[in-house]
Amino acid sequence: MAPSTPENGLDKAAFKDLVATFGFQMTPQDEADYFALVKGMEDEVHEVETLPAYIDPRLVPSVATPVSARTYSVPDKSDNPLNAWSHRFTLKDDAAVATGILAGRTVALKDNISVAGIPLTLGTHPYQLSTSPDMPYPVPSIDAPIVTRLVESGGVILGTSTCENYCMSGLSDTSATGPVENPWLKGYAAGGSSSGSGALLAISAVKKWHQKRSLPLDEGQLAEGVDLAIGCDQGGSIRFPVAYSGVYGLKPTHGLVPYTGIGSLHPICDYAGPMATSISDVALLLSAIAGYDGIDPRATPETPLRKNVPAYHTLLEAAIAEKQASGGWTPTTAGKGLRVGLLKEGLALPKLDPNVAAVVRAAAAKFERLGATVVDVSAPLHSKGGAIWTATMRGAAADVFLASKAPDLPAFTTTEVAAPALTQEWFDIMTKSSPMVVTAALGSAYMSDTARFPHRYRSKAMAHLAQLRAAYDAILADVDVLLLPVTPSVGPPHTIKAAGETGNVSALAMYELNLGVSDNTAPFNVTGHPALAMPGGWAPAATSEGSGESKKLPVGIQLVGKHHDEVGVLLAASIWEVAGLGLDEE
In the chain, the amino acid numbered 19 is V
pTM: 0.96
C-alpha span between 230 and 274 (Å, rounded): 5
Which of 162, 217, 170, 168 is closest to 189 using CA atoms? 170
Cis status, amide bond into 544, omega within 30 of 0: no
Let me know if 39 is a catalytic residue.
no
Handedness of CA 421, 424, 427, 433 (dihedral sign): negative
The pLDDT of residue 219: 85
C-alpha span between 409 and 103 (Å, rounded): 36
Give the DSSP letter string of 136-161: SS---SS--HHHHHHHHTT-EEEEEE
C-alpha span between 517 and 169 (Å, rounded): 9
C-alpha span between 32 and 39 (Å, rounded): 11
pLDDT tens per residue, range 361-411: 999 999 999 999 999 999 999 999 999 999 999 899 999 999 999 999 999
The pLDDT of residue 350: 87
Q: Over 427-482, what HEC string results?
A: HHHHHHHCHHHHHHHHHHHHHCCCCCCCHHHHHHHHHHHHHHHHHHHHHHCCCCEE
Of these residues, 161, 175, 193, 197, which one is catalytic? Answer: 193
In the chain, the amino acid numbered 403 is A
Of these residues, 92, 110, 251, 323, which one is catalytic? Answer: 110
Which of 185, 175, 221, 227 is closest to 204 using CA atoms? 227
C-alpha span between 234 and 230 (Å, rounded): 14
The radius of gyration computed from the CA coordinates of the chain, to the nearest angstrom, equals: 24
Q: Which residues contact 163 (CB under 8 A, 6 or more apart)?
A: 86, 110, 111, 112, 121, 122, 123, 175, 192, 193, 194, 195, 196, 197
C-alpha span between 577 and 580 (Å, rounded): 5
The pLDDT of residue 2: 45
Which of 538, 524, 530 is closest to 571 using CA atoms? 530
Q: Using an 8 Å Cβ cutoff, are 500 and 432 in contact?
A: yes
Q: CB neighbours (10 Å) of residue 306?
A: 15
Let me know if 562 is a catalytic residue.
no
DSSP character at residue 78:
G
Which of 569, 365, 345 is closest to 479 using CA atoms? 569
- The three-class DSSP label of residue 330 is coil
Let me know if 552 is a catalytic residue.
no
C-alpha span between 530 and 559 (Å, rounded): 8
Of these residues, 169, 237, 245, 574, which one is catalytic? Answer: 237
- Angle between helical axes of 566-577 and 312-325 (0-180°, round to 10): 50
- In order of 298, 394, 405, 445, 570, the CA distances from 397 in angstroms are 16, 5, 9, 10, 32
Q: Using an 8 Å Cβ cutoff, are 303 and 153 in contact?
A: no
Q: Using an 8 Å Cβ cutoff, are 200 and 108 in contact?
A: yes
Q: Render each residue's pLDDT in the chain as its tens digit; 586 residues.
A: 444 444 568 999 999 999 999 999 999 999 999 999 999 999 999 999 999 999 999 999 989 999 999 999 999 999 999 999 999 999 999 999 999 999 999 999 999 999 999 999 999 999 999 988 899 999 999 999 999 999 999 999 999 999 999 999 999 999 999 999 999 999 999 999 999 999 999 999 999 999 999 999 988 899 999 999 999 999 999 999 999 999 999 999 999 999 999 999 999 999 999 999 999 999 999 999 999 999 999 999 999 999 999 999 999 999 999 999 999 999 999 999 999 999 999 999 989 999 999 999 999 999 999 999 999 999 999 999 999 999 999 899 999 999 999 999 999 888 889 999 999 999 999 999 999 999 999 999 999 999 999 999 999 999 999 999 999 999 999 999 999 999 999 999 999 878 777 767 899 998 998 989 999 999 999 999 999 999 999 999 998 655 556 799 999 999 999 999 999 999 999 999 999 999 998 7
The pLDDT of residue 3: 44
pLDDT tens per residue, range 166-207: 999 999 999 999 999 999 999 999 999 999 999 999 999 999
Cα 111 to its chain centre, rounded Å, is 11
Residue 483's beta-bridge partner residues? 342, 559
Angle at 439 between CA 434 and CA 441, to 5 degrees: 105
C-alpha span between 22 and 379 (Å, rounded): 45
Q: Using an 8 Å Cβ cutoff, are 181 and 227 in contact?
A: no
